[in-house]
């Protein structure tokens, strides 16, 4: 699929949603921030920082070196001078090696960056003079203009920037650590309630034909790995459970024995790859800044297709000893090639058609979203490049624009009730209230003028005052109604 540029299923849809519009933000499946907004990088380099490959490669190489060296150091047993390499690896403390190796790699990276300064898009190595001058307080230096200060060589990463980047990175992976902790807890719960023993009894105590053990071991291992989220844990469960019974049941048949072993390994990896609580799945979605469930949804079809053909041309023929294992591998390669050519399509094609499975889903569901995306792909192909991204519309705002409701007072308590009401009519009522308000102002002004003309009569003046009071009272009542109506619109 990668070499041919083709794809299928949910991954094809996700790829099209990005490529059709030339998006670089990951599209709808990108990881969201805690507030639901788009995730922004807090560790991005400054625009004037020159990018060099060694600033990424050396820290990674040093990290691998430290971890490997600490594995050897923690695995050496002084009381056993005859240890070989495998014995050392088995006795090593992987937790300590990963913990201290990571810290040593981070400190080494920071020290490596301190030896580099940046100026005019170039790297200056061992800028001792500039570093010494940076330690001198500015009030003791020669007076410089702002432009001269900007032209000075600056460290590639200061101590403050290094600490801020380290803490930002820890904050970025905190969510993954929570998910991993819960995933490990879920796996432990599955084992504690006896999931492994259940499958073990179904396999060992049932009178099954031993020739189906490779297939059964593959399927059961895949289910356990998917439920527990660990491939290594599945192997530790299945190996002692199946290998000895398989050898005894097959009468020492090495072909069935090795096929069962391979079935356990392959099933554990397949189930772990598709499991949403697997550490590899969580870390993969974290590294690619993709939502976890979106990552699982796009990977699941690959697992299902490959697992199905692994059973058809792999475990079943191997258990039946139908043909040599090399033939199974060749058949598996051919079936995957045929899937690539006939059940997958290019992400951008002339007609915009999907793969056969997605097209069938589109016919059954009549999805407007998929149909619109299909038309956009055809337009992008004709245009020869990405299209302009359409403005996304919030469904809630759209519904609010169609019907904002009428505020109706119930009884004397002032409680309001939202009743379905067309937007145009509600706005018309609001406009009418404003017109009444303007008429009240006009009436009040006229009454005021009449009072000045009849100022000689005390009774008339009194009547005018009463009229003015009535008008003011009416004006206040109208304003209260308008404010109440407008407030209800805002609330809706």
d(CA 339, CA 12) in angstroms, rounded, equals: 14
Least confident window among 144-148, 327-331, 336-340: 144-148
Whole-number Å distance between alpha carbons of 194 and 37: 41
Q: What is the mean pLDDT of residues 54-75?
A: 91
Q: Within 10 A of 385 (CB to CB), how many other CB atoms are there?
A: 9
Residue 394 has a pLDDT of 45
The rounded distance, in Å, linking the Cα atoms of 145 and 247 is: 83
pLDDT at position 269 = 92
Residue 417, pLDDT score: 36
- pLDDT of 49 higher than 60: yes
Indicate whether 137 pLDDT > 80. Answer: no
Q: What is the pLDDT of residue 420?
A: 36
Whether pLDDT at 402 is above 90: no
Residues 6+ apart with CB under 8 A from 55: 112, 113, 116, 156
Top-confidence residue, 206 or 284? 284
Residue 442 — pLDDT band, cuts 50, 70, 90? low
Predicted confidence at residue 464, as pLDDT, reads: 45
Q: Taking residues 386-411, what's their average pLDDT? A: 48
What average pLDDT does this structure show over 442-450?
48
The answer to whether 226 touches 186, Cβ cutoff 8 Å, is: no
* Res 260 pLDDT > 50: yes
Report pLDDT digits (tens) over 448-468: 444 444 443 444 334 444 444
The pLDDT, as a whole number, for residue 60 is 92
Tokens, residue 459: 């009774």
Q: Is the dihedral of CA 231, 236, 238, 244 positive or negative?
A: positive
Report pLDDT for 173: 75
Q: Which residues pair with 125 in a beta bridge?
A: 116
Please tell me the predicted confidence (pLDDT) of residue 434.
55
**Pairwise CA distance, residues 484 & 415, whole Å:** 12
pLDDT interval class at 421 (50, 70, 90): very low
More confident residue, 282 or 267: 267
Mean pLDDT of the chain: 74
What is the pLDDT averaged over residues 331-343?
A: 90
Distance CA 12, CA 355 (A): 8
pLDDT of amino acid 385: 85
pLDDT (mean) for 264-275: 91
Range scoring the smallest mean pLDDT among 48-62, 184-198, 252-266: 184-198
Overall size of the chain counted in residues = 492
The yes-or-no verdict on residue 130 having pLDDT over 70 is no
Indicate whether 259 pLDDT > 80: yes
- Please give the pLDDT value at position 117: 82
pLDDT, position 35:
56
Instruction: Please write the tens of the pLDDT for every residue from 302-327.
Output: 999 999 999 999 899 988 888 888 88
> What average pLDDT does the segment 459-480 reach?
46
The closest of 115, 128, 102 to 157, measured between CA atoms, is: 115
Q: What is the pLDDT of residue 139?
A: 59
Per-residue pLDDT averaged across 412-441, rounded? 45
Model confidence at 38, in pLDDT bands (50, 70, 90)?
low
Q: Which long-range contacts (CB under 8 A, 24 or more apart) does 440-445 make?
A: 440/471, 440/474, 440/475, 440/478, 441/475, 443/471, 444/468, 444/471, 444/472, 444/475
CA distance 331 to 334: 5
Q: What is the pLDDT of residue 234?
A: 82
pLDDT for the residue numbered 261: 92
Confidence at 29, pLDDT banded by 50, 70, 90: confident
The share of the chain scoring above pLDDT 70, in percent, equals: 67
406 near 426, Cβ under 8 Å? Answer: yes
| Cross-strand pairs, 410 | 415
Model confidence band, residue 143 (pLDDT cutoffs 50, 70, 90): low
Give the H or E element holding residue 123: strand 122-125
Share of the chain above pLDDT 90, in %: 15
* Highest mean pLDDT out of 140-144, 204-208, 484-488: 204-208
- Which stretch, 163-177, 458-472, 474-488, has highest mean pLDDT? 163-177
């Amino acid at each position: 699929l990668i070499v041919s540029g083709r794809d299928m299923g949910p991954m094809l849809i996700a790829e099209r949603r990005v490529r059709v519009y030339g998006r670089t933000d990951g599209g709808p499946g990108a990881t969201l921030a805690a507030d639901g907004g788009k995730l922004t990088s807090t560790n991005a380099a400054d625009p004037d920082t020159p990018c060099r490959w060694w600033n990424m490669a050396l820290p990674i190489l040093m990290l691998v070196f430290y971890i490997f060296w600490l594995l050897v150091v923690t695995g050496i047993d002084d009381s056993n001078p005859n240890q070989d390499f495998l014995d050392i690896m088995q006795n090593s403390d992987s937790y300590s090696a990963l913990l201290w190796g990571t810290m040593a790699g981070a400190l080494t990276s920071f020290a490596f960056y301190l030896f580099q300064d940046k100026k005019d898009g170039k790297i200056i190595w061992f800028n001792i003079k500039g570093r010494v001058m940076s330690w001198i307080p500015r009030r003791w230096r020669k007076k410089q203009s702002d432009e001269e200060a900007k032209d000075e060589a600056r460290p590639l990463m200061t101590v403050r920037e290094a600490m801020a980047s380290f803490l930002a990175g820890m904050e970025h992976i905190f969510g993954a650590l929570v998910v991993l902790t819960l995933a490990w807890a879920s796996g432990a719960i599955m084992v504690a309630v006896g999931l492994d023993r259940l499958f073990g009894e179904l396999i060992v105590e049932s009178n099954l034909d031993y020739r189906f053990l490779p297939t059964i071991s593959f399927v059961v291992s895949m289910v356990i790995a998917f439920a527990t989220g660990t491939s290594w844990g599945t192997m530790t469960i299945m190996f002692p459970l199946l290998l000895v019974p398989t050898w005894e049941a097959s009468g020492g048949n090495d072909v069935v024995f090795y096929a069962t072993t391979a079935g356990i390994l392959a099933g554990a990896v397949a189930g772990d790859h598709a499991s949403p609580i697997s550490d590899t799945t969580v870390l993969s979605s974290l590294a690619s800044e993709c939502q976890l469930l979106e990552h699982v949804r796009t990977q699941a079809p690959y697992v299902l297709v490959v697992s199905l053909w692994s059973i058809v041309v792999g475990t079943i023929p191997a258990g039946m000893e139908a043909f040599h294992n090399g033939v199974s591998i060749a058949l598996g390669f051919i079936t995957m090639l045929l899937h690539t050519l006939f059940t997958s399509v290019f992400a951008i094609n002339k007609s915009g058609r999907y793969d056969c499975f997605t097209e069938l889903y589109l016919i059954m569901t009549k999805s407007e979203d998929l149909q619109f995306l299909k038309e956009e792909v055809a337009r992008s192909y004709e245009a020869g490049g990405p299209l302009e991204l359409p403005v996304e519309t919030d469904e809630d705002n759209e519904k609010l624009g169609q019907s904002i409701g009428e505020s109706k007072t119930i009884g004397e308590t002032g409680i309001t009730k939202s009743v379905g009401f067309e937007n145009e009519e509600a706005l018309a009522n609001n406009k009418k209230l404003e017109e009444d308000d303007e008429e009240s102002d006009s009436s009040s002004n006229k009454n005021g003028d009449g009072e000045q003309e009849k100022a000689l009569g005390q009774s008339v003046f009194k009547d005018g005052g009463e009229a003015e009071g009535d008008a003011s009272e009416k004006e206040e009542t109208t304003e209260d109604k308008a404010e109440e109506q407008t407030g209800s619109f805002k609330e809706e």
